[in-house]
Amino acid sequence: MFSYKNLVKSIFKKKTDLISCYYESGSHSLSHILDVLKKVDKADKIYIPFFICQEVIDVLSSKDIEIKFYNITNELYVDESSIDLSTINDRTIILIINYFGFPANWEYIEYIKNKTKCIIVEDNCHTLRSSYRGKALGKYGDISFDSLRKVLPVLSGSVIRCNSQKYIISNKESKLPNFSQIKYSFRSLRKLSKKIIPREVSNSHYYSGIDVFSKTIHSKYLFDYENIKEKRVANFKFWENFLLSRGLKRILNLQNFEDVIPYVFPCFINTHNDIKKWMEWGYANNIVIIKWPNLAKDKFIGNNSLKNVLLFPVNEQQIMTQERIIHEF
Ligand SMILES: Cc1ncc(COP(=O)(O)O)c(C=O)c1O
């Protein structure tokens, strides 16, 4: 949720962050990255996972590039058996997602990279601050991008990070927030409202910058990441206890990861009918549950169990407790 308090505090601070490549959203960053890779590497093909959101498909469809799919396992790793390495070369991009802030199977991805010299784009849109084997997520791919508004109380923004000196990314001018962003920003002030205001994100040629409010906060405000982590982990554990005892199945176990700030608590649901029931339950309790991915049903042809995934919120602005649940399931 956007915070005007953070904005006011940030305005009077000295600049601390030297990031220069801000774009409006993850989609806008990805679009720009693809343009750069087509130019620098003559990239002509991209492998993407079946388990993916509509926003990424929309960006790719606006580019002249061949799209191939690979599968994702129930552990949310790249399924090694679904990629034919003989079809990959130094003009092939492989998009890797660190799902929900958890690391992908980077050992295998690095193996593919060494063997085929392909280009790895790391989609870090669900990551706030996580690391794997002592290295921050976002530093694994040749180039990576995130989505600030998904994980921080800002209105827009995405940062592109180049891990290869080959690529030069131009900055996009920041702009005043648009009407829909301003409307969204007041949501935090309307505490009594239960209505969820959806954010509209512009995709006008996918080439816009971050809004000035969000840039000011992101570049100057010092977020207390340890505190955010503690709260998100506590919420994650709450959902683990609450949902597993009600028949839902865990996808990711935090205990298996050293340093992760979770984006949500993802879980498998048995049937489509159960999804409906849980969504209604969320609505009754004013808890935003997301069905992910948001693809049309017929477009999803990968691993079947990933068809029924729900995401429960763990963001630090709300602390999940049993008392918070007004209507039992
Ligand atoms: C994995 C992933 N990548 C990219 C995007 C696009 O990010 P944005 O919504 O910031 O455009 C999304 C959006 O949901 C996503 O889930």
pLDDT for residue 198: 55
- Closest C-alpha to ligand 1, atom 5: 26
Q: Mean of the pLDDT values across residues 112-127?
A: 98
Say what the pLDDT of residue 301 is: 67
On whether both 135 and 258 belong to a single domain, the answer is no
Residue 177 sits in the same domain as residue 252: no
For the cut 60, the answer to whether the pLDDT of residue 82 exceeds it is yes
Does 11 fall in a domain?
A: no
Do 284 and 176 share a structural domain?
A: no
- Residues with CB under 6 Å of ligand 1 are 25-27, 53, 55-56, 97, 123, 125-126, 147, 158, 201
Counting from 1 in the atom list of ligand 1, the atom nearest the Cα of 147 is: 10
Residue 326 CA to ligand 1 centre (angstroms): 31
Amino acid type, 56: V
Assign 241 a pLDDT band (cuts: 50, 70, 90): very high
How many CA atoms are closer than 13 Å to the CA of 319, on its beta-carbon side? 8
* Ligand 1 centroid from CA 56, angstroms: 7
pLDDT at 15: 54
Atom 2 of ligand 1, residue of closest alpha carbon: 125
Q: Does the structure show a pLDDT above 90 at 232?
A: yes
Instruction: Please report the DSSP string for 210-231 in residue order.
Output: -BHHHHHHHHH----HHHHHHH
Tell whether 195 is covered by a domain: yes
- Give percent above pLDDT 70 in the chain: 90
Domain count, the chain: 2
pTM score? 0.91
Q: Which of 200, 220, 240 corresponds to the end of one domain? A: 220
Question: Pick the residue with more confidence: 46 or 189?
Answer: 46
pLDDT on residue 183: 83
What are 268's strand-pairing partners?
249, 309
Nearest atom within ligand 1 for CA of residue 27: 11
| Predicted confidence (pLDDT) at residue 73 exceeds the cutoff of 90 | yes
Question: What is the rounded average pLDDT of the residues 176-186?
Answer: 84
Gap from CA of 203 to ligand 1 centroid (Å):
12
Q: Which residues contact 140 (CB under 8 A, 6 or more apart)?
A: 96, 104, 106, 109, 110, 120, 122, 132, 163
Mean pLDDT score across all residues of the chain: 89
Higher pLDDT, 175 or 185: 175
- Domain of 184? 17-220
The stretch 18-22 carries a mean pLDDT of 69
| Mean pLDDT, rounded, for 181-188 | 78
198 CA distance to ligand 1 middle (Å): 15
Residues 81 and 121 in one domain: yes
Same domain, 200 and 230: no
Residue at which a domain ends, from 220, 255, 279:
220
pLDDT at 115 over 90: yes
For residues 276 and 245, membership in a common domain is answered with yes
Amino acid 298: pLDDT: 63
For residues 154-181, average pLDDT: 89
Cα 204 to its chain centre, rounded Å, is 21
Please tell me the distance between residue 158's alpha carbon and the centre of ligand 1 in angstroms: 10
The yes-or-no verdict on residue 192 having pLDDT over 50 is no
pLDDT at 200: 57
Percent of the chain scored above 90 by pLDDT? 70
Please tell me whether residues 192 and 52 are part of one structural domain: yes
Same domain, 216 and 308: no
